[in-house]
Amino acid sequence: MMRWGRQQLVRLYQQATAPKIGLFWVAIIPLAWLTLFFAVPLLEILGVSLGSSRRGVPPFIPAWGLSDEGLFFAPNSDSYALLLRHSSDYFIPLYNSTRLAFGSMLICLVLAFPISLWAARASGAVRLSLLVLVLLPFWTSSLLRVYAVMGLLNPTGYINQFLLFLGLRETPLDLMRMDISVYFGIVICYLPLMVLPLYAVLVRIDESLYEAATDLGATRSTTFLTITLPMARPGIVAGCLLVFIPAMGEFMIPELLGGPEQLMMGKVLWAEFFRSRDWPVASALAVLLLLVLSIPILWLRHAERRMRET
């Protein structure tokens, strides 16, 4: 019995690792993952957004699905129409989201570039400790990191204690519930997402390219502008998207660190879902936000492809 089982296992293993079948299994796992956790939920949200609201659990009737009478398909665009009628209500949170997400993205880029460049060109031990230092906070809960930022910026926080101690201020500086506190929070939480793709492209630039540029008369700044920066472009694009897109929908950071002036789309979405309990409108808003966000992604990909072709 044992022997038979082992033989079966060996055969299964050989089949799975045979070149073609192996590739199939390698591809099917991420494919199944994406279908299950990306495509299906997305379709679900689309279904809710085209459905209608009701009192009950769940608080909506989806546009398609399975009921007692069998399959049904009855989409309506009421939620989208409602959103478009009241679109001006969403301009300010959309503007806030874009402004704060874009600003944080730029700050992340400016901070991450020297760190990544240093790590990419340093030798073993320095490189490792730099990367660990960047990644270490990433291993703690983002909620904790946001509370840590509060501990820094509060009227009784470290920064104010320090300023009062030095006698530079008589009263504590108001740093919380401002743009600066939201920037602070997003940058601290998202910096690794900028550092890693940048590091990945910068570490692949051969040292001899810098030497060749120097040999051909380029100064340090020219070398940076003509070699480092253009060659890092894919990493810059990836890092910016990785920071900008999730920051657009960020809920926790503006909620904990921002004030009414920092009302962002994430909070509006939350309010539509849980305060108005209008799931179709909330879902329609999420779908529209997704469409708006896909514009810069598609444009960047297009620009990237054009750059590569010429």
CB of 113 to other proteins, least distance (A): 17
**Stretch touching other proteins by CB under 8 A, among 10-18, 28-36, 111-119, 208-216:** 208-216
Using the Cα atoms of residue 290, residue 292, residue 298 and residue 303 in order, give the sign of their dihedral.
negative
Q: Is 212 in the site for other proteins (CB under 8 A)?
A: yes
Q: By CB under 8 A, is residue 303 in contact with other proteins?
A: no
| Under rule CB under 8 A, residue 180 binds other proteins | no
CB of 203 to other proteins, least distance (A): 15
Structure tokens at 247: 């920051």
Phi, psi of 258 (to 5 degrees): -100, 170
In sequence order, which residues have a C-beta less than 8 Å from that of residue 206 and are 6 or more positions away? none
Q: Tell me which stretch binds other proteins (CB under 8 A): 17-25, 132-140, 205-213, 279-287.
A: 205-213
CB closer to other proteins out of 14 and 226: 226
In this structure, are residues 153 and 184 in contact, taking their beta carbons and an 8 Å threshold? yes
Task: Decide: is 213 part of the binding site for other proteins (CB under 8 A).
Answer: yes
> Which DSSP string do the residues of 46-77 spell out, in sequence order?
HHHHTSEE-SSSSSEE-SEEEETTEEEE----
Question: Of the listed pieces 21-29, 83-91, 230-238, 274-282, which binds other proteins according to CB under 8 A?
Answer: 230-238
Q: Give the binding-site size for other proteins (rule: CB under 8 A).
A: 18
- Least distance from other proteins to the Cβ atom of residue 121, Å: 15
Sole binder of other proteins in the list 70, 208, 260, 295 (CB under 8 A): 208
C-alpha span between 145 and 252 (Å, rounded): 11
The reply to whether 216 sits near other proteins by the rule CB under 8 A is yes
Report d(CA 124, CA 146) in Å as an integer.
32
Quote the Cα angle for 106-132-34, to 5°: 70
Token pair, residue 157, equals 């926080």
Q: Is 215 in the site for other proteins (CB under 8 A)?
A: yes
The residues that touch other proteins, with contacts defined as CB under 8 A, are 206, 208-209, 211-219, 222, 226-227, 230-231, 233
